[in-house]
Structure 1
Amino acid sequence: MESKRQEYFSVFREISKDILSTLDLKEVLKSIVEQVTRAMEAKGSTLRLLDERKRTLELVAAYGLSETYLHKGPIDAEKSVAEALQGRAVAVLDATTDPRVEYPQAAREEGIASILSVPLIVREKVIGVLRLYTDTPRVFSREEIEFVSALAEQSAIAIEHARLYEQVREDYTTLMNDFYLWFESREQPVVSGPGTGEQSRLG
């Protein structure tokens, strides 16, 4: 168990370094789903963000699962393990029979046994879900749930970091555009009106 804790810590530290060293959100999230799958010795994992307008969970990163399963259909935020969207971790022992699973037949065909869903939370608001899938039934321990929850928190931080950067970049671009427009307007030559001594700008 001690070696497992050390592995969890190493994964957490590595992902923290990724978040701090790159603004490529896609690569960071891809690293998170791969590393959580390996550390938990699971079948695969996904990271989905909530589309508030459509009330669906949109796939942004995945590891270890087939394209067929990943694109099995829209994921309804209210039907698909809704407790996670209320801010709670949700463990499903049998994904093929649990009524909280939206596509049990697809889970059976993919060879999925158990699912752990944990929320991504930013400023006390759920923005998505990190899910772990196993190919054998598993009762997730408290330590496992805490580890996956910590990675979900890192995912949320990375997403917020990227969004803030994009907002700052857009604000900076707008500011520079406004400045250039102002500067160009100041650069227009000034001439005297004919016979009046008044000054007017050339249009």
Structure 2
Amino acid sequence: MAQNYFAALRDVALAVNSSLEPSAVLHQITEHAAKAMSCKACTIRLLDGTGHFLLPTAAYGLSDSYMRKGPVEVGRSGLDGEVLGGKIIHLKDATSDGRFQYPESAKAEGLVSVLSAPLLVNGKTIGLIRVYSSEERDFTPDEETFMQAVAALSAMSIENARLHDALRNNYELMAKHAYSVYED
């Protein structure tokens, strides 16, 4: 089983290095994570600017109706609050655990157990990654470690894309300024 995780981590690292386009990279990450862990689905959600909502950023294996179930409010989801506090959290049955914000939607989607890990950049939580199992299961310590590694690579990918955009914008501003100075 550990060999599958090593191969999946290699694939995630290759995806992170393949592009600075976050949506494509994060979608590949969700697919690799779900498949490596034999899970039905995986999502990555990022905090909005207010820190009150988790926005769907990438998903694999979930229906459009599930993804449109409603806003994920940090204040209404005990699970997400714990994960954003820096903890990796396992729910054996999300449909009956009061910390899960949309248990009815999870049940309708066929989701039972979930494992969630925070996305950290420089010690600050920017979002989370979550895998969903279609059957009740206990996630192993190796699976938790794998999720933490995937979360770290995901956060690095997001931060690299943000830094690239900032650098490109600064370059464009400098180029415009230099061109206008040259014209004068």
TM-score (normalised: structure 2): 0.96
Cα offset for 1:54?
5.6
Measured in 1, the distance between the counterparts of 2:51 and 2:148 equals 25
In the alignment, what sits opposite 2:85?
Answer: 86
RMSD after superposition? 1.0
Match of 1:57 among 50, 54, 58: 54
Amino acid at match of 1:39: A
Partner of 2:75, secondary structure, is coil
Match of 1:77 among 64, 74, 78: 74
Higher relative CO (Cα under 8 Å, sequence separation at least 6) belongs to 2
Deviations 1:82-123 (A, max 9, x none): 100001001111111101000111111111111111100000
1:48 aligns with 2:29: no
Measured in 1, the distance between the counterparts of 2:41 and 2:15 equals 21
Measured in 1, the distance between the counterparts of 2:11 and 2:42 equals 18
In the alignment, what sits opposite 1:149?
Answer: 148
Moved more, 10-19 or 128-137: 10-19
Measured in 2, the distance between the counterparts of 1:135 and 1:18 equals 26
Partner of 2:76, secondary structure, is coil
Alignment of 1:1-203 (within 5 A): 4-53=1-50, 55-80=52-77, 81=79, 82-185=81-184
Partner of 1:23, secondary structure, is coil
Cα offset for 1:179?
0.6
Q: Extract structure 1 runs of 4+ deviating beyond 6 A.
A: none
Amino acid at match of 2:137: R
Deviations 1:36-88 (A, max 9, x none): 11111111010000013161000010011111111100001232211000010
Partner of 2:99, secondary structure, is coil
Deviations 1:146-168 (A, max 9, x none): 10111011000000000000000
Instruction: Provide structure 2 residue ranges, at least 5 long, that are not aligned to the other structure.
Output: none
TM-score (normalised: structure 1): 0.87
Measured in 2, the distance between the counterparts of 1:79 and 1:117 equals 16
Partner of 1:131, secondary structure, is strand
Moved more, 108-117 or 18-27: 18-27
Measured in 1, the distance between the counterparts of 2:49 and 2:140 equals 31
Measured in 2, the distance between the counterparts of 1:78 and 1:184 equals 54
Instruction: Provide structure 1 residue ranges, at least 5 long, that are not aligned to the other structure.
Output: 186-203
Amino acid at match of 1:59: P
Measured in 2, the distance between the counterparts of 1:86 and 1:117 equals 12
Partner of 1:78, secondary structure, is helix
Contact 2:111 2:132 survives alignment (8 Å): yes
Measured in 2, the distance between the counterparts of 1:18 and 1:109 equals 32
